Amino acid sequence: MECGIIGLPGCGKTALFCALTGTVASALPGGGVKPHIGVAQIPDPRLDIIAKYISTRKIVPATIQFVDLPGVPADAGAARANAFLSHARQVEAICHVVDCFSEATSAATVDKDIDSLQVELILADLQVAESSLHKTERPIRAGDKVAKARAALLLKVLEPLNDGRPIPPLAQWSTPEQKMLKSYGMITAKPILYVANVAENDLDGSSEAAKAVVRHAQSRGAAAVVICAALEAELAELDEADRAEMLGSLGLTESAIGPLARAVNEVLGLASFYTASDKEIRAWTIPAGATAPEAAGVIHSDLQRGFIRAECFAVDDLERHHDEKAIRAAGKLRSEGKHYQVQDGEVIHFLFNV
């Protein structure tokens, strides 16, 4: 799954992309219409807890793919604007970065910046909805039931768009409607995370600008994260010891990239489970609500095809009882069948036979 990073020119979205993916900014081509694509590891404290009690050779975190979408200056031509919209339609979620670090930025400026980009996205979805509705007219006259269902959805979509509002989130639509909305690539219906990109002296997000981002996110029922992208990009270029020293000097125990990546994971509707052995401890991501065989299939198709059962325990139980034998003795090791929905934060051993 991909998360697209958007924002007005100069908001710091590329610095955030570099911090997330460990990319050196100077190595990125600039000024083009092609997006920057990179993979970010998801810092996960639960991996460290598992490794504390299960000795292993290697720890492998889960990953997310990020797409730094090309910025669209106010005087940009149609080609660049269309390129941005085309890429935005292809990602599963949106990470909207807002400039909260410039000295001239106020709460009013933030509201204006967010609204200006949101208007562009609403107009883009409006154009797609109107065009698509027009294309259903002839099939409907011929008795096409699928076209009729699409027209009914598009009429519902047009209500908020014509009123200058984004489309309600995908979660509020039925499963068939969600599939149709995804086929149209409706941008404003995608899950969104707002990022208040603050200055280094505002890491707690106490400025009025950062608070304005949080308020806007709450008004949309979305999440918001406060981060200093410039600082995080600098931290990403340091080795582990220097990074820890720098974080300590700032009174921090963890880079803000961890909470941000985990928030994106949640926005994408993903959950994590773990496999653990003396060879490897690994985090795996699955859609929330996935069944045990589906989770097994993320590891290998043979595990799903020959699934017998899943032996599960929570990371919290490992921290409490220290090893699997004690977890079993405490009655916390569960054996689950093919209909079991995997819970976030479980360590699982799959039994299968092919």
| Mean residue pLDDT across the chain | 90
What number is the average pLDDT over the span 11-23? Answer: 88
H helical segments located in the chain: 13-21, 45-53, 78-90, 107-135, 137-141, 145-162, 175-184, 208-219, 229-236, 240-249, 257-267, 292-299, 301-305, 315-321, 324-329
Are the C-beta atoms of 256 and 226 separated by less than 8 Å? Answer: yes
DSSP readout, 161-219? HHTT-PPPPGGGS-HHHHHHHHHHT-GGGS-EEEEEEE-GGGTT--SHHHHHHHHHHHH
Write the pLDDT tens digit of every residue in 179-211: 999 999 999 999 999 999 999 999 999 999 999
CATH of 116-187, one of 2.40.340.10, 1.20.950.20, 1.10.150.300, 1.10.3720.10: 1.10.150.300
Paired residues of 282 in beta bridges? 60, 275
What number is the average pLDDT over the span 237-255? Answer: 85
Write the pLDDT tens digit of every residue in 124-155: 999 999 999 999 999 999 999 999 999 999 99
What three-state secondary structure class fits 160? helix
Inform me whether the pLDDT recorded for 346 exceeds 90: yes
Q: Place 308 in a pLDDT band, splitting at 50, 70 and 90.
A: very high
Query: Percentage of the chain with pLDDT > 90?
Result: 66
Inform me whether the pLDDT recorded for 73 exceeds 60: no
The CATH architecture one would assign to domain 289-352 is Roll (3.10)
Other residues' Cβ atoms within 10 Å of the Cβ of residue 15: 22
Nearest to 65 by CA among 277, 289, 265, 275: 265
What number is the average pLDDT over the span 338-348? Answer: 95
Kindly tell me the burial class for residue 325, based on how many C-beta atoms sit within 10 Å of its own C-beta (0-12, 13-18, 19 or more). exposed
Tokens found for residue 335: 């054996």
pLDDT at position 258: 85
CA of 64: how far to CAs of 43, 92, 147, 343, in Å? Answer: 11, 11, 35, 19
Residue 244 makes CB contacts below 8 A (sequence gap 6+) with none
Inform me whether the pLDDT recorded for 5 exceeds 90: yes
The CATH code of domain 1-44+62-101+191-269 reads: 3.40.50.300
CA-to-CA distance for 73 and 80, rounded, in angstroms? 9
Per-residue b or e along 166-204, where b marks 16 or more CB atoms closer than 10 Å to that residue's CB: bbbbbeebeeebbebbeebbbbbbbbbbbbbbbbeebbe
Domain spans in the chain, listed from the N-terminal domain onward: 1-44+62-101+191-269, 116-187, 289-352
pLDDT at position 239: 84
Q: Place 27 in a pLDDT band, splitting at 50, 70 and 90.
A: low
Q: Place 167 in a pLDDT band, splitting at 50, 70 and 90.
A: very high
Tokens found for residue 311: 């032996």
pLDDT at position 243: 86
User: Residue type for 84, please?
Assistant: F
Q: Place 76 in a pLDDT band, splitting at 50, 70 and 90.
A: low
Place of tokens 């797609």: 128
pTM score? 0.87
pLDDT at position 257: 85
pLDDT at position 292: 96
pLDDT at position 259: 87
What three-state secondary structure class fits 112? helix
pLDDT at position 235: 86
pLDDT at position 138: 93
Q: Place 30 in a pLDDT band, splitting at 50, 70 and 90.
A: low
